Structure 1
Amino acid sequence: MNPNEAQSPDGQETDWDPRREDVQRNQIRAYDHMRGTCPVAHSDYLGWSLFRHADVLQIVTDHHGFSNVVSRHPSVPNGMDPPEHTGYRQLIERYFTQQRVDAFEPVCRQIAGELVGSLKASSTWEVMSNLAEPYAVRVQCGFLGWPEGLHGPLRQWVRKNQEATLARDTEAMASIALEFDSYIRAQLDARKSADGAAPEDITTELLRQTIGGERLAYADIVSILRNWTVGELGTIAACVEIIMHFLAQNQEVQSRLRKDRARLPLAIEEILRLNGPLISNRRTARRSVVIGDRQVEAGDRVTVIWASANRDPAVFEDADQYRPDRDQSSNLLYGAGIHVCPGAALARMQLRVMISEVLSGISQFTLASDCEPVHAIYPAGGLASLEIQTDGASPQVA
């Protein structure tokens, strides 16, 4: 990963290859290296990659200089800029109020408790397939009012989407995207047909919403639900696995959290700062600007590397150390600026509930001795596979 190691097809200097085996083997370690040696780096794959906290914050808070419209496919409201973004953002924020989050917590706790309960008889199990992924699918369906019959298809869809993304198979990715939209449209069609008998859930509510005095277009509702669901399924599952991995490696922290659940919120924020579940986001430069010592031109692609920015020692003292008592106000786990994650409170509740149920229902656990964790490959963060084993004792009661 030496600067100026190659030339991209357009003649731009190529500083690194994000797809190289040594990068994918451990993304966090590779991004730490880039932040220290080439913090504003160009590649033909990601355009400009930014690794420092200050540079990332500069980009994501400057919606006049950097656009979120990065794809030819519409994305509501993630892929919008003001003023168009403003109305849609205000519309969706009403679904993530603290009141709604609190009302949904018992549902999450029931789902988490059932999943944890099903694992009590096993001394060794894989986290993603047995806990993280089914939890993400079930809580998202529960939040949107979608039927249990979608749990299986959505889990299969997640796997197919991951495989196509890793293979960079654009034809398969397009087909898979259409498949997901068909699930959403089926839910919308069922509610329209039911009319007054439609269930009173978020999906039904969206059919009644208006922008500028007109009902939301079908395509816009599909895009909103796609963004919520695809992001939820991947990110929440990755978060659960990252946290479980950390606790399995750090027995003292695990024991402390078992005894004092009030520490969980800050512990989770810090664990996910250390190993980010969401690696990056894209922007397009609207004007020419110097970032670090590099010239970025209008129209250039810019990739902000959240997983690196959150480990920047210029912002976080002892950045690679677990310090749950640190000030988390600079943590970019949920983004920043006008596109900061609207569902942050919901995600925090879901993670707190799941990890609390794990600590209540499962005895002290460690990494499985005969199976090494497998790191996820970009654009995924965290781990692709993780097996843990328990000591067989009864869980400590908080």
Structure 2
Amino acid sequence: MHGQLTGVEPSTGPEAAGAGPATAPGATVDAEPDLAHHGDAEATPGLVDLAVNVRRDPMPDWLADPVTAALADLAGYPDPRPARAAVAARHGRPPAEVLLTAGAAEGFVLLARALVGVRRPVVVHPQFTEPEAALRAAGHRVERLLLDPDDDFRLDPARVPADADLVMIGNPTNPTSVLHPATDLAALARPGRVLVVDEAFADTTGVPGVDGEPESLAARRDLPGLVVVRSLTKTWGLAGLRIGYLLGEAALLERLAAAQPLWAVSTPALAAATAVASPAGVAAERAIAARLAADREHLVRRLSALPGVRVAGRPASAFVLVHRPGADRVRQALRDRGWAVRRGDTFPGLGPDWLRIAVRDPATTDAFIEVLAEILEA
């Protein structure tokens, strides 16, 4: 089904989220992926975790101190205004164009619930499965645009249906690690359409000699209907704290805020958002991204030297996608040897011959490659 635009039957509630897709006559029908499966299910205790894309380095004092101090204020209700102002300043927007959320995942749920008049939502895959899962749980009929692995999962904007009034795409995309050009994504924006760009991993894309986040649309205020989804949980190891935000037109964010529970973001999470959005936080983030680029290059180089292993495209984030026939058997063998990697067959557009591997420090990568090479030899 690679390269096909396929429709998915509408969900009638959360229990229908696993319903299979309706395909055109003559199309190949693959097993319907489990959209509810995520990397944390792979990273069971006792395994070295290369399945979850969350950085696990110690939290720096400038971030830990305000989060810890916020625990003294838990008797009061959260006040999002300081954090919203800090995030807005970081991206050159007024505070009304920022909506703080309990992680990026809540943002997808708000979009699915608030955009009740959407007629033709299209989700570009392979990508993080929560956007489609949230849409289907809210009763939307979703169409999948599957990008071609033989073209390194690159987007051709012309393939998106002109009458799609909701388009969702990741940049950089999880799990492919593809970074689409900002010009290609901007070409998808138009009046009457909501364009959702998932930039949960945008802060991992900085490279030496480049200031900022190449290809991010977070500061673009001129594109109609654009909503940028951001996460603070990956780089800063805050998955358990749940903090992210949406950027977009104030009127559209008001619609989303109306679907959000009161006080959805906790006081410690707001403190974290304020700290990370500060100049010190942004500088630290870019230094981390530069180190990550070197670690990623090392992982790609080691993987590319293994027989039968193909690294997809030019990885740009905190993970790489690899193809090898029989990869799911390799994944099971890795588990037996104490290593967890992310299976690929739960992502639409992939299958059991794909694995996603998180970027770690060179010593961890070298130990992993040694075990993987032994498994491939056997």
TM-score for both structures, normalised by structure 1: 0.23
Larger Rg: 1
Q: Calculate the TM-score normalised by the size of structure 2.
A: 0.24
